[in-house]
Structure 1
Amino acid sequence: MIMMGDLIRRWQRGWCLARRIPDGIPVDGGVEVRCDQPGRQVEVFALRADEEPDSVARLAARVAASDVTTWLTVTTTRPRDVEATIRAGGLEPLDRPEWLMSVDLAGHPRPAPVGPYQATVDVDGPVVTVVIHHGSGELAARGQMAVSGADAVADKIETMPAHRRRGLASALMGALAGAAVERGARTGLLIASADGQHLYSSLGWRREADVLIARRP
């Protein structure tokens, strides 16, 4: 049985590596990360939303009382109950449905980009970056994975609008998966936006839980 708190903590550690920010600090039922991003100075991740529902209320109160711009991110298999708790705590969920997903990297498809596209892999410490350029030199797609122990966390996966629907996202994810496996990773983790869910599902990624994000109105 997958422990959701463990899975989201593993994702969070890899995400911090990918973003090159310090690891989180444990708080009551969660972990707090100082991310210092525009419109989001701090993010609190709930770790026990399903096992201990009251912890979501406590974390919501913590976020509502914060004197800096703080987000609350909750991974759960009971999104309706969690949303009600978040709203009762004075926070407003973002209209941005997301999923926590995982995959066995060893079996991940690895299609190559079709000409005139070419992929380049770069490694900087635990972070693998793949960039795909058009033959003209124009940037077509890019993304990164941070290897954290046996996990690899995908982040900032993007295909430029002029180059979409050409299989580049699949090629990008395949190149990242291959590079991560070479560095000892076995499990891929990511949080998928609504736009990315179909792509990742088609590549074998499994939906583990819903992800709700909230902040003060």
Structure 2
Amino acid sequence: MDGVVQAWVTGWVVSRGAAAPEREPWGFTVDVGQVAHVSRHVFDALGDDVDEGVVRKVAGGVTGAGVWLKVFHDPEVVGGWLGEGWWVDPEPGFLMTVPLTASAQRTGAPPGYRLRTWSVGGVTRVLVAAPDGSLAARGQVAPTGRTAVFDQIATVPAHQRRGLGSVVMRTLQNVAVGMGAETGVLAGTPAGRGLYEALGWHVEAPLTSAKFEGPNAG
């Protein structure tokens, strides 16, 4: 999918309430404004098109703790490009997409669970509450024109394998389609990949997440 990284960045900043992305020759810089996540540099090349020299140059210019890199290549490869002070998540993420159509399957919560959906600031959130009122599953989506970013999808371990993740995803999918989105985009974890692929999502590229902790960290 052409422009998939830009689509993900555009929707992610809406979903997380981050600053508008700044275009760079190699991708995007996003200010997030959190102590452990001050900003992030997102490279827009995928897989073998990622330029090692460019990643090394950008990483080498980072001097403040809490700056992240998002590189669409394997962690084992990217980790070897980064110098002292970088923590690299050993588990790869996955940039994924799906053509969006309205789900014909039931999206209600299973018996005993409660499903609630609400929208604020262009972001629609879904909550599935357990019978005792505690959190069972959740997720959110930020449609931005023809694409929509699905974000922070999670099911509490005690409530997994009950179809709640599918309920959340299909509910968000219907919201996105209703707002005119044609393609869904997300950055998934290894734990979530199976769910997304079962729902028709396709992996576009692996994703490495790295955080600068400072030369003396650890």
TM-score normalised according to structure 1 size: 0.86
Give the corresponding residue for 2:157.
161
State whether residues 60 and 72 of structure 1, in contact with CA within 8 Å, keep that contact through their aligned partners in structure 2.
Answer: no
Give the corresponding residue for 2:19.
22
SS at match of 1:116: coil
Give the corresponding residue for 2:97.
102
State whether residues 130 and 144 of structure 1, in contact with CA within 8 Å, keep that contact through their aligned partners in structure 2.
Answer: yes
State whether residues 143 and 172 of structure 1, in contact with CA within 8 Å, keep that contact through their aligned partners in structure 2.
Answer: yes
Pairing partner for 1:45 from 34, 42, 45? 42
Find the aligned partners of 1:9 and 1:31 in 2 and give their Cα distance. Answer: 8
Q: How many matched pairs? A: 209
Give the corresponding residue for 2:71.
74
Which consecutive residues of structure 1, in runs of 5 or more, have no partner in the other structure?
A: none
State whether residues 75 and 211 of structure 1, in contact with CA within 8 Å, keep that contact through their aligned partners in structure 2.
Answer: yes
State whether residues 44 and 59 of structure 1, in contact with CA within 8 Å, keep that contact through their aligned partners in structure 2.
Answer: no
- With 200-209 and 118-127 compared, the bigger mean Cα shift is at 118-127
Residues 51 and 131 (structure 1), Cα distance of their counterparts in 2 relative to 1, 3 Å cut: same
Give the corresponding residue for 2:216.
none
State whether residues 33 and 39 of structure 2, in contact with CA within 8 Å, keep that contact through their aligned partners in structure 1.
Answer: yes
Which consecutive segments of 4 or more residues in structure 1 shift more than 3 A? 49-54, 83-86, 107-111
**Percent of paired sites with the same residue:** 30
* 1:13-62 deviation per Cα after TM superposition (whole angstroms, max 9, x unaligned): 100000011121112311111112342211100013558543x4224322
Find the aligned partners of 1:85 and 1:133 in 2 and give their Cα distance. Answer: 39
Find the aligned partners of 2:38 and 2:115 in 1 and give their Cα distance. Answer: 34
Q: Residue 89 of structure 1: CA displacement?
A: 4.2
TM-score normalised according to structure 2 size: 0.86
Find the aligned partners of 1:166 and 1:156 in 2 and give their Cα distance. Answer: 19
Give the corresponding residue for 1:64.
60
Find the aligned partners of 1:216 and 1:125 in 2 and give their Cα distance. Answer: 31
Find the aligned partners of 2:91 and 2:189 in 1 and give their Cα distance. Answer: 7
The reply to whether residue 130 of structure 1 matches residue 126 of structure 2 is yes
